[in-house]
Amino acid sequence: MRDVRTTLSELYTSGETFALATVIDTSKSAPRGPGASMLVSASGEVTGSVSGGCVEGAVYEEALEVIRTGNPVRRTYGVSDEDAFSVGLTCGGTLHMFIEPVDRASFPQLGSVLGAMEEHQPVAVATVVADPSGADRVGLRRVVWPGHAEGALGSDGGRLTDALDDDARGMLAQGSTGVLHYGADGQRRGDELEVFVASFAPAPRMLVFGAIDFAAAVADLGSYLGYRVTVCDARPVFATARRFPTAEEVVVKWPHVYVEEIAEHIDERTAVCVLTHDPKFDVPVLKAVLGTRAGYIGAMGSRRTHEDRLERLREAGVGERALERLHSPIGLDLGARTPEETAVSIAAELIQTRWGGSGRALRETEGPIHRDSEPTGLLRSDSVEVQDEPKTVR
């Protein structure tokens, strides 16, 4: 829902019934992962995508029918690799979809869920998507916050509710989304009942140090990729909100001081880009961030600057194992020249680090194009401790 939340909020506020189609599971080379959503309004207007165009037409027709009948449906789209170009997903993958009608009466907690997303607060939405027991629980949902939960899963769902609350909080802490299986009465050893849990953990952070033109381009692209971007520089004449309109915050402080203040909030999903290439800034801030759990730490500069920086960091007491975490010179070798091209190079390395790609041209590789739905690189969403966000002086 995160990718369509603006339109979702508008439709929900209007009071009309609309359809929400969500990818709940995938296999092989599916183009979108679990959690990808598409909205269809009562008038037929579409927002979002679940497959990049492969099955949108079929999902659209199902969504209109769901609005008409008021009954949710679970559908599977996909064909074998051999038959991939005849119907369905041309990539040969499989999408498992849940398409449900939504309005203010059927989903009274949606306003609170959208508010939590806006405020970067963690929340999980658990929806029953299959129930062969005949208990008619398909479409029932429970909204789970770290400290409380709302929503009933049937009159006799006590055991299921307890198990689901516990499991959903575990998934929320990991930032993971997927299908859980239970027995008809909530037994964890069963598999008759399917519950899709969509976790909405706070968006990952990007810390950009150095208020230069390259930083503006990196901030723009980082924001586009879904990061909450902070730009930090000790020079107030350069570190202004006007120069970095897409950044969530612009902080005027010595970079290493700022890192020390927020160190406990830097987790495995945090990306750090040090773009100052000035030793008096670089060395203190890199020493500080290399002591955190940040998943990606990159520093700009020439190869000569990089070698000099490594020696200075060693002299400052940074060990070799910590230095191995440093991506420097920052970015992939794309031949970038301009700030915008350099930002694309940095973003490419971020994506490669997160998903474990080779960084080579796809035509030179073999195997699935789309990686597994769970990150495999350093920027993992598992074992992330959700923290209260720090207050920052702009």
Best mean pLDDT range from 92-101, 251-260, 362-371: 251-260
Contact indicator for 16, 42 with CB cutoff of 8 Å: yes
Residue 126 has pLDDT above 90, yes or no: yes
Structure tokens at 62: 């199902």
With cut-offs at 50, 70 and 90, classify the pLDDT of residue 87. Answer: very low
What is the residue type of 163?
A
Report pLDDT digits (tens) over 337-369. 999 999 999 999 999 998 888 888 988 888 777
- pTM exceeding 0.95: no
Pick the closest to residue 378 from 233, 262, 258, 270 (CA basis).
270
Give CA angle at 370 (329, 274), nearest 5°: 20
Residue 373 has pLDDT above 90, yes or no: no
Cis before residue 329, ω within 30 degrees of 0?
Answer: yes
Q: Judging by beta carbons within 10 Å of its beta carbon (0-12, 13-18, 19+), is residue 42 exposed, middle or buried?
A: middle
Contact indicator for 87, 79 with CB cutoff of 8 Å: yes
Q: How far apart are CA 306 and CA 30, in angstroms?
A: 39
Report pLDDT digits (tens) over 270-324. 999 999 988 899 999 999 999 999 999 999 999 999 999 999 999 999 999 999 9
Give CA angle at 356 (350, 360), nearest 5°: 85
**Around Cβ 80, how many Cβ atoms within 10 Å?**
11
Q: How many residues does the chain have?
A: 394
Backbone angles phi, psi at 198, to 5 degrees: -100, 115
Rounded to the nearest integer, the mean pLDDT of the chain is 87
Q: How far apart are CA 135 and CA 66, in angstroms?
A: 20
Residue 85 has pLDDT above 70, yes or no: no
- Spatial neighbors of 367 by CB under 8 A, at least 6 apart, are none
Identify the pLDDT of residue 157: 62
Identify the pLDDT of residue 146: 92
Beta strands in 79-140, from DSSP E residues, in sequence order: 94-102, 123-130
Residue 131 has pLDDT above 60, yes or no: yes
Pick the closest to residue 63 from 43, 47, 40, 45 (CA basis).
40
Identify the pLDDT of residue 372: 55
**Tokens 């598999």 sit at which residue?**
191
Q: Strand 249-252 and strand 228-233: pairing?
A: parallel
The DSSP code sequence of 329-383 is S-S--S---SHHHHHHHHHHHHHHHHHT---S-GGG--S-SSPPSS--SSS--TT
Q: How far apart are CA 264 and CA 386, in angstroms?
A: 11
Structure tokens at 81: 């690799």
With cut-offs at 50, 70 and 90, classify the pLDDT of residue 375. Answer: low
Backbone angles phi, psi at 172, to 5 degrees: -65, -40
Please give the residue that has the higher pLDDT: either 352 or 186: 352
With cut-offs at 50, 70 and 90, classify the pLDDT of residue 249. Answer: very high
Q: How far apart are CA 386 and CA 286, in angstroms?
A: 24
Identify the pLDDT of residue 384: 32
Contact indicator for 339, 346 with CB cutoff of 8 Å: no
Average pLDDT over residues 368-381: 53
Identify the pLDDT of residue 250: 97
What percent of the chain lies above the pLDDT cut of 90? Answer: 66
Collapsing DSSP states into helix, strand and coil, what is residue 24?
Answer: strand
Structure tokens at 230: 């902070």
Q: Can you list the pairs that 78-83 forms with residues at least 24 positions away whose Cβ atoms lie under 8 Å?
A: 78/27, 78/28, 78/30, 81/28
- Helix extents (H) in the chain: 5-14, 56-69, 110-118, 158-174, 213-224, 255-262, 279-289, 303-315, 320-323, 339-355
Q: What is the DSSP letter of 90?
A: T
